[in-house]
Amino acid sequence: MNGTWKILIQLALYCALFTAMVKAAVGNNALNGLYFYPKPLQEKVYELGLTDRKTVAQKRKTFMTVFFIVMTAALIGIIAVWNYIHTFREAYLQALLFLEVMNWYDGIVIDRLWVGHSRFWIIPGTEDIPFVQTWNQVLRKRGILTVVWIPGAAVIAGIVVCIG
d(C-alpha 129, C-alpha 47), whole Å: 13
pLDDT in the model for residue 1: 64
What residues have CB less than 8 Å from 34, skipping those under 6 apart?
Answer: 42, 45, 51, 56, 59, 123
Q: H helices of the chain, where?
A: 3-26, 39-48, 53-76, 88-105, 116-117, 135-163
pLDDT, tens digit, for every residue of 120-142? 999 999 999 999 999 999 999 99
Domain total of the chain: 1
Query: Where in the sequence is the domain holding 53, given as residue range(s)?
Result: 3-163
The reply to whether the predicted model has a pTM over 0.85 is yes
pLDDT, tens digit, for every residue of 80-116? 999 999 999 999 999 999 999 999 999 999 999 999 9
- Residue pair 47/39 in contact (Cβ under 8 Å)? The answer is no
